[in-house]
Structure 1
Amino acid sequence: MANAMTSTALLVFLACLFLVNVEGQVGHTKARCLCLNGVVNQIKPVLIQKIVVHKSTISCPHMEIIVTLKNGAREKCLNPESGMGKKAVNKWLENQSVQ
């Protein structure tokens, strides 16, 4: 009887561990976007060092444009719907088709 209770308790314990492990697996319930603190619509072109475009993914459903500035390598998020953002995306798409 004690052996059966021990086996049952062990089985329940292992089932709980399995459920906790499965619950901790990637479920992408939270977006992992880089531009969480807002976006800007325009940045002076002379201040831009580099532009990186991140397409939408499962973990972040938004297209993001990360602009690295020359002054202290600060990064800003550029609004992809703004005029400057659309130009940056078009330029990025042109570069992707060339490669």
Structure 2
Amino acid sequence: MTLIVFAIAAAAEIAGCFAVWMWMRHEASSLWLVPALISLGVFAWLLTLAPSEFAGRSYAAYGGVYIATSLAWLWVIEKQRPDPWDLTGAAICLVGAGIILFGSRPV
């Protein structure tokens, strides 16, 4: 369930940042800021659902999922297929995120 929450949070964060990107970099209407604020608010709320005692650990694990979701965004929304270097880097990050999130901790 945690990975699903992280993936949805990543999509919300990327959508919010993309909306700001469109407004600032492509001179789109300032109305792009409305979905940006909503998406970024949803992103922040979703991260609070992560089952971790420490926010920093949760955010570190989320980072790996964010990278993978960013590459999916690149492919699906921006129509740019990730290259082997992108995929290798994302795989390494996901392994690291899994270790951080699911690693055994002393009680």
Bigger fraction of residues in strand: 1
Bigger fraction of residues in helix: 2
Q: TM-score, normalised by structure 1?
A: 0.28
Higher relative contact order by CA 8 Å / sep ≥ 6: 1 or 2? 2
Q: TM-score, normalised by structure 2?
A: 0.26
